[in-house]
A and B are shown apart, each in its own frame.
Chain A
């Protein structure tokens, strides 16, 4: 895997491989020193054109736990505010020869565009309302860890699908893993054409009891101002996931940050069915797996001459199915 731009870059085997690798990293989080040297000598650049605390810090933690060097570049307060184009910014930063660039922008396709301007591996951390593939992967990882398999699983994605990059990647990724997906929300926020993703489309939660998993999307206040819904009150009345709506055997997920009292009632956020904190934990593991894969498979400029003896460059020359790339053999997926 050279880049991760879209969840569609991965087939089922690819997603399973990443989840297995993420699982192998789970143990690292429980160590007193939460670090392995897998990406020592590698540089990961976080290029964020949108404010993001969770995703950025999750990528940063992931890179650091693999011993990569991390540089954070936030667009605010930088040359971007002085009018520098995306291309010039990327080429300037690429001159420092990062091995991977993690990109978040408000524009669809921007991460793909960037691949033309640098030989670093590009990981899409959200491009406009298009895709957020690592979010989908961590959601799949979370469900897989809890349930084993997603085959035949019935997942409802509820809320502002129109403006959600999370929804687009998730619907596609879940289906790749054998789940059935229904999207539901107000007609103004669920475009009819979203059915091209292969999901069912509903405008009420009447059939929500069918769901095995209820995935609520974040409802932004801005949507009220743009008159997509008349009021938060009316939205909550129809679409809020509360203990009244959530059945005892159903699992609850949310990409965060949660608006309590809007898309989710407070009681379900903290309830036993909530996987929300599992998702957060999974975020670091899955991003470790993604960074490892794009860098270990030869992504980015060649390794520095004093690169790690056990680094990915050396591993690449081994026959496939060869020895464990890590210093610690127990990291390797079972």
Chain B
């Protein structure tokens, strides 16, 4: 019998909430709700959804004025790096989940490329135990596909699943050997669990620190050609189709990858894809000043790639927006560009970035963005948060008109290597209720007890 893949949060102050949000605009695209309502949460469960101003707070229930605010189902990120075990100086289970809650997330899925790698059930078990004591929101853990992420021997995938692994990934590295990946996909018939892939052909990408193109040519920095990703997406989609397995493609970054994913879906293959806020909002032009916050893997692409990713999000080829939240310590990023590690944080700025850059200018509908921010749950076999009576409360309360500057008040994350640092965005998360408990309140957000 398998364990629940989501570890329930158990940090201090994680108690079932009793709260009434009045006159708030509820938007839950999957539940078909897009109208003002009163929403009452009792003992962590959505007890009642009524006409705006129609509900009154029972005794002991905190009342929140939601006039002018939006209430969404809480977001789920299928791709974050919590750096535990081994690199707790970058992030730990508490700060990482605190950062997620501040971004409106109610569940995150952690990657296994830690030190040591999560490739054994004993390590996975101790991590889950730690999370049950430290995490602010529910966390799922993935395990490695191959031992030590070395791409040669499969992990004990079945035992890992029984020990609670959400799925499998060698994220940070590709599974370059097609034969190894094929065996993992075959083995998936026994153990289940999605296999998520970081796609990169190292024979094409080796040594690259940014996207190969006009900016890399000017800077004299070795580039990663986009086909390093797309050829692997096409190859692995074919393997998934051949074996009937289920694959998820992480952090897609170029036109040809989106095309390959769309083509694989058209053939009925069980494949899915994600795009990050940074690939949706930025291009390789952002690297021109060699700000190491702009260094990530895969690197920022061309404007055409950004447009293709937006189109993929719009038409559903890309089911989810995932941050690939990748914290690094300040001194690690305070390096010449080519030496700095790859990665940007993203949990706290994801919604605001996508909302400000894509929704406000009319590029994407708000409902689509919200849908993609919760879309990661189903891909990881986790319950999708819904604003519906009888559901555990997984909600985020957002002020779309509120302007704020990323990083101006610091971060909940231990690290500040955010590619949007210093940018002023619209859309501020005021409160997050995760699995029935208030996991985050914006500092200046006044709460009025009834």
Q: Which chain A residues border B338 with CB–CB below 8 Å?
A: 106-108, 128
Q: Binary interface profile of A, 137-170, with partner B (CB < 8 Å = 1, else 0)?
A: 0000000000000000000000000011100100
In the assembled complex, the Cα of A38 lies from the Cα of B29 at a distance in Å of 73
Q: Which chain B residues border A85 with CB–CB below 8 Å?
A: 331, 334-335
In the assembled complex, the Cα of A113 lies from the Cα of B214 at a distance in Å of 22
In the assembled complex, the Cα of A113 lies from the Cα of B336 at a distance in Å of 7
A82-119 interface (Cβ within 8 A of B) = 85-87, 105-110, 112-113
In the assembled complex, the Cα of A193 lies from the Cα of B338 at a distance in Å of 20
With A193-B216, A196-B214 in contact, do A108 and B335 touch (Cβ < 8 Å)? no
B122 lies within 8 A of chain A by Cβ = no
B219 lies within 8 A of chain A by Cβ = yes
A197 lies within 8 A of chain B by Cβ = yes
Which of the residues A107, A130, A191 comes within 8 Å of B339, measured between beta carbons? A107
Are B219 and A109 touching (Cβ within 8 A)?
yes
B12 lies within 8 A of chain A by Cβ = no
Q: How many residues of B contact A (CB 8 A)?
A: 18
Q: Which chain B residues border A127 with CB–CB below 8 Å?
A: 336
With A112-B290, A193-B213 in contact, do A87 and B334 touch (Cβ < 8 Å)? yes
Which of the residues A106, A107, A110, A196 comes within 8 Å of B218, measured between beta carbons? A196
A194 lies within 8 A of chain B by Cβ = yes
Minimum C-beta distance from A160 to chain B (A) = 12
B389 lies within 8 A of chain A by Cβ = no
Are B220 and A105 touching (Cβ within 8 A)?
no
In the assembled complex, the Cα of A112 lies from the Cα of B289 at a distance in Å of 9
Q: Binary interface profile of A, 47-82, with partner B (CB < 8 Å = 1, else 0)?
A: 000000000000000000000000000000000000
Are A109 and B290 touching (Cβ within 8 A)?
yes
B25-58 interface (Cβ within 8 A of A) = none
B61 lies within 8 A of chain A by Cβ = no
Interface of A: prevailing SS = mixed
In the assembled complex, the Cα of A153 lies from the Cα of B233 at a distance in Å of 48
A129 lies within 8 A of chain B by Cβ = yes
In the assembled complex, the Cα of A128 lies from the Cα of B290 at a distance in Å of 13
A263 lies within 8 A of chain B by Cβ = no
In the assembled complex, the Cα of A325 lies from the Cα of B129 at a distance in Å of 73
In the assembled complex, the Cα of A112 lies from the Cα of B214 at a distance in Å of 20
Are A107 and B334 touching (Cβ within 8 A)?
no
Q: Which chain B residues border A197 with CB–CB below 8 Å?
A: 217-218
Minimum C-beta distance from A124 to chain B (A) = 12
Minimum C-beta distance from B421 to chain A (A) = 15
Minimum C-beta distance from A142 to chain B (A) = 23
Are A193 and B221 touching (Cβ within 8 A)?
no
Are B217 and A108 touching (Cβ within 8 A)?
no
Are A107 and B336 touching (Cβ within 8 A)?
yes
Minimum C-beta distance from A165 to chain B (A) = 6
Q: Which chain A residues border B337 with CB–CB below 8 Å?
A: 107-109
Which of the residues B217, B220, B331, B334 comes within 8 Å of A128, measured between beta carbons? B220
| Minimal Cβ-Cβ distance residue in B for A192 | B217
Q: Which chain A residues border B339 with CB–CB below 8 Å?
A: 86, 107
Are A191 and B217 touching (Cβ within 8 A)?
yes
In the assembled complex, the Cα of A191 lies from the Cα of B213 at a distance in Å of 9
Are A129 and B214 touching (Cβ within 8 A)?
no
Are B331 and A108 touching (Cβ within 8 A)?
no
A131 lies within 8 A of chain B by Cβ = yes
Are A129 and B334 touching (Cβ within 8 A)?
no
In the assembled complex, the Cα of A127 lies from the Cα of B221 at a distance in Å of 10
25 contacts between A and B (CB under 8 A): A85-B334, A85-B335, A86-B336, A86-B339, A107-B336, A108-B219, A108-B220, A108-B221, A108-B337, A109-B336, A113-B336, A127-B336, A128-B220, A128-B336, A128-B338, A129-B221, A130-B219, A130-B220, A168-B218, A168-B220, A191-B212, A191-B217, A193-B212, A196-B217, A197-B218
Binding site for B on A (CB under 8 A): 85-87, 105-110, 112-113, 127-131, 163-165, 168, 191, 193-194, 196-197
9 additional A-B pairs beyond A86-B335, A108-B290, beta carbons within 8 Å, are A86-B336, A106-B338, A107-B337, A108-B219, A108-B220, A108-B337, A193-B214, A193-B217, A194-B217
Binding site for A on B (CB under 8 A): 212-214, 216-222, 290, 331, 334-339
